[in-house]
Amino acid sequence: MSEIGAYEAKTHLPQLLERVQKGERFIITKHGHPVAELVPVNQRDLDAVNQVITALRNLRSDFAERGLRLDDLLQEGQNLRELAHEGHRY
């Protein structure tokens, strides 16, 4: 992966984007320190995404077979958003 300074990246952004579309990746630095990564959007790991979706569907089926509902996991007054973020530090 190539490193490029922020000023140079700004000056040559259209050319960099052309190269990124072809699969190249760049680390953008500011005063020699990495601050950002320029990568192609289509570089997502679709296999990993599909594995997570399959695992969630299996979990949902497993809950249904056991007669569990999502509401059963919530504490009194808790909503789904709070359950999803439980244990997160902000």
Residue 23 or residue 6, greater confidence: 6
Residue 27 DSSP SS3: strand
pLDDT at 6 over 90: yes
Core vs surface per residue 27-48: b (16+ CB within 10 A) or e: ebbeeeeeeeebeeeeeeeeee
CA distance 7 to 78: 48
List, for residues 15-58, the tens digit of each pLDDT value.
999 999 998 999 999 999 999 999 988 656 788 889 999 999 99
CATH class label, 2-43 = alpha beta
pTM beyond 0.75: no
List, for residues 58-77, the tens digit of each pLDDT value.
998 999 999 988 788 788 88
- List the chain domain ranges: 2-43, 46-84
